[in-house]
Amino acid sequence: MSYTETTSEGFFSRLGNSIGGIFVGIILILASSALLYWNEGNYVRTAAGIAEGKGSVQEIKEDKVDASQDGKLIHVVGTTRAGSALNDQAFGVSAKALRLRRQVQFYEWQEKTEQKKRKKLGGGEETVTTYSYDKGWVSQHQDSSGYKEKGHDNPAPPDFRSQDFQSSDATLGAFKLHQSVLDKLDSFTRLPLANVHVPADKKFKLTHDMLYQGKDPAAPAIGDIKVDYQVVNPGQLSLVARQSGDSFEAYTTKNGTTILYVESGSHTADEMFKEAEASNSMFTWVLRFVGWLLMCVGFSMLVGPINIVADILPFFGDLVGLGTGLFGLSMGTSLSLVCIAVGWIFARPLVGILMLAGAIGIFVMLKKAGKK
C-alpha cells in the first residue's frame, strides 16, 4: 500500500532557500570546528585520566570492607547477590534478579517515506514523495493522526510502557551495589514466565513465555500488544570504582575524568582499563567523522546558490554540482585537519604539526585544481 504526492519548487524559491542556507552553512562550520577542537582535547584528557587511574588502582577482596581503602580507586572481582525479589505489580511478575526489564511492543501501522527529486528546465525542481504503509511490531507507539493516507489508524496506547526495575539491596560480597553500578549491567537474558496471574483488567494471556493481548500471536492484528521480560541475574562481577564506605561510586581523577567500569564476569584491572582506552578511541573517531561530515556539508551550503543558478540547464547543473561537492569535501577535510591539529598541538606537538602539514597540502592541491 502506498500514496504518492508530487510537489514543485520554482527557481526563485530554490535560490532564496539556498541563500538562506549560506547562514546555516556558516553555523555548521563554526559548530563543527568547536566540536572537533573539543573532541581532541577530550580524548587527551580522558586518556590521561585513564592512565592516572591505571597507575593508582588498588586490588581489594569483596568479602571484607577495608576502611583504609575508603576514597581510593579500587578493583574488585566477586559474586553478586540479588537481595529481595523484584516485582512488577502491574502484571504480577516477580524475579530474584539484579535488574528486571519489562518490554512492551505494539502491532501497528508504520509510515515510511521515500523521496525522488528531478530537476526541471529553468531551475525548478520536482519532488515525488511516496508514502508506504506496513504492519509490524514497534517498541514506541506510532501516532497515526498525521499519516498522509487515511485508513491506517493505530489505536490509542495503553497506560503502561516498557520499564526497568532494579534491586535496592543487591550486594557484592560485603559491599552494597547502588543504582550507578546496576545501571551499567546490561547482560540481560529472557525471563521464563510461569504461574503469572495477570490482573483481569489487563486482558492478557500467557503464551510462549510472553503476555499477549489479542486473538492469535501467530496472526497478529493491529492493536495487539505483547509483553515479555528480561533479567540480569546475579553472578560474577568485575568493578573499577571509588570505594565509598561499604559501597562504590564513580572516581574522579585530577583532571576531572570519571572512572566507573562495570563488567559481568571475571576481568583483571588491566583488561578493564584497556577496554576503557578502546572505548575512548572509538568515541573520538565517531565524533571526528561527525565533525568532518558537518564541516563538508557546511562548505557545500556556502556555494549552494551557484548550483541553483547552474540548474537552469539541468545537465550543466549536475557538472557544477560535482565541482562544488569536491570543493566542500576538500575545504571540509582541510579545515577539519586544522581543527584537529590545533587540538593536539599543545599536547603532542609532533602529531599536531604533521596534521597541519597535511591540511596545507590539501589547500595547495585545491589551489592548483582551481587554476586548471
pLDDT tens readout for residues 202-233: 788 888 889 999 999 999 999 999 999 999 99
Helix 11-56 × helix 269-302 angle, to 10°: 160
Half-sphere exposure of 147 (CA within 13 A, CB side): 22
SS3 content of the chain, % helix, strand, coil (to 5): 40, 30, 30
Least confident of 59-73, 184-198, 269-283: 184-198
Residue with cell 583483571: 268
Per-residue confidence band for 347, with pLDDT thresholds at 50, 70 and 90 = low
- Residue 265 is predicted with a pLDDT of 94
> In the numeric block, which cell numbers belong to residue 163?
520499564
For the stretch 81-102, pLDDT in tens is 998 999 998 888 999 999 999 9
What three-state secondary structure class fits 198?
coil
Query: CB neighbours of 362 closer than 8 A, spacing ≥ 6?
Result: 330, 333, 334, 337
Among 204, 246, 241, 211, smallest CA distance to 64 is for 246
- Residue 364 is predicted with a pLDDT of 67
Rounded to an integer, the average pLDDT of 186-205 is 83
Half-sphere exposure of 370 (CA within 13 A, CB side): 10
Among 87, 77, 141, 83, smallest CA distance to 109 is for 141
Cβ–Cβ under 8 Å, residues 91 and 198: yes
Helix 11-56 × helix 314-345 angle, to 10°: 20
- Residue 54 is predicted with a pLDDT of 96
Query: CB neighbours of 265 closer than 8 A, spacing ≥ 6?
Result: 235, 236, 237, 238
- Residue 312 is predicted with a pLDDT of 81
CA–CA distances in Å: residue 300 to residues 25, 50, 120, 200, 323:
8, 38, 21, 60, 10
- Residue 371 is predicted with a pLDDT of 54
Helix 314-345 × helix 269-302 angle, to 10°: 140
Rounded to an integer, the average pLDDT of 337-348 is 76
> What's the mean per-residue pLDDT of the chain?
89
- Residue 147 is predicted with a pLDDT of 92
- Dihedral sign, CA of 190, 195, 201, 203? positive
The whole-angstrom distance between residue 215's C-alpha and the CA centroid of its chain comes to 36
Neighbours of 115 (CB within 10 A): 10
More confident residue, 349 or 75: 75
* Residue 41, burial from CB neighbour count under 10 angstroms (0-12, 13-18, 19+): middle
> In the numeric block, which cell numbers belong to residue 152?
491506517
Residue with cell 545501571: 183
pLDDT surpasses 60 at 200 = yes
* Residue 100, burial from CB neighbour count under 10 angstroms (0-12, 13-18, 19+): buried
If you compute the radius of gyration of the chain from its CA atoms, what whole number of angstroms results? 28
